[in-house]
Amino acid sequence: MKRNIVIATIAAAALIGGGTATALAVSGDEEAPAKKSNVQVSNDDTGRDDDANVNDTDDNDDNDADDKADAAEDKAAKDTGEDAEDKAENAADAKVAQVDAADAIKAALKNTKGTAVSADLDDEGTKHVWDVDILTNGGAWHSVQVDPANGKVVGSHVDRDDDGDDAAETAQIRAALKGSSVTAAEAAEAGAAKGTVTSVDLDEESTDKAWEVDTTAANGTGSDWRVNPDSGKITADRSND
């Protein structure tokens, strides 16, 4: 019995580079002449995304505009009144924060349930601590201290209402936080893109409520930011301009 065997070999190079591959039709009779058939392999993939390149110029212009806007925000956020001594102190303080502000807030909230309203990297004289202020659901204020070296809670106490204005302040803060979707920890995470966060505090008094975030660059330059409590967008704090 004669049987026809068709061997179609398409080289991998033809698939990548495009071109002609040859397929041989061979009959079971070794003496029968071989027939050639040409298979054209089109190469639509030229190693680039043609659609993506349609607006390359516009994309580059947009990127340039974004970069310029970011640079302008960075410049506006910088503290201009700092001298070399201030920057050296800032850099030393920031270096201590092995545990960042966001993680310190999370550790404090595990210790005391409620809403974190502020977190500051404080120099207690002999050591630094993260001091996190938490407003409990019952209206009490707690101050929780977190070690910036390992994230462990090293102290906690209830803040007393010494001046008698806690009720009014609490109401104002609750009103500022009502409906907001960005927490203090999330505001700290947004600020971390700008440098080492050393402070997060809710600005409940201004008309445009925001999280105020202080950051320190590697060279000790401090910057002041505002994080929108609804969108999480971070912008330079221009309140002192």
* Structural domains of the chain, ranges and CATH numbers in brackets: 5-41 (no CATH), 78-236 (3.10.450.40)
Mean pLDDT of 69-76: 73
More confident residue, 90 or 53: 90
Per-residue pLDDT tens digits for 79-94: 677 778 988 988 998 9
Digit-coded pLDDT (tens) for 160-216: 766 667 788 899 999 999 989 999 999 999 999 999 999 999 999 988 899 999 999
pLDDT band of residue 18 (cuts 50, 70, 90) is very low
For residues 133 and 101, give the distance between their C-alpha atoms in angstroms, rounded to a whole number.
12
Token couple for 191? 């600020």
**3-state secondary structure (DSSP) of residue 152:** coil
pLDDT recorded at residue 2: 40
pLDDT range class, residue 236, cuts 50, 70, 90: very high
Q: Which residues contact 134 (CB under 8 A, 6 or more apart)?
A: 108, 109, 112, 114, 115, 116, 117, 141, 142, 143, 144
Per-residue pLDDT at 161: 67
Average pLDDT, the chain: 78
pLDDT band at 112 (very low <50, low <70, confident <90, very high): very high
Which long-range CB contacts under 8 A does 130-134 form with residues at least 24 apart? 130/97, 130/99, 130/101, 130/104, 130/105, 132/104, 132/105, 132/108, 133/159, 134/108, 134/109
What does the pLDDT look like over 125-148, one tens digit per residue?
Answer: 779 999 999 999 888 999 999 999
Higher pLDDT, 57 or 181: 181
Find the helix or strand (DSSP H, E) in which 170 lies: helix 166-177
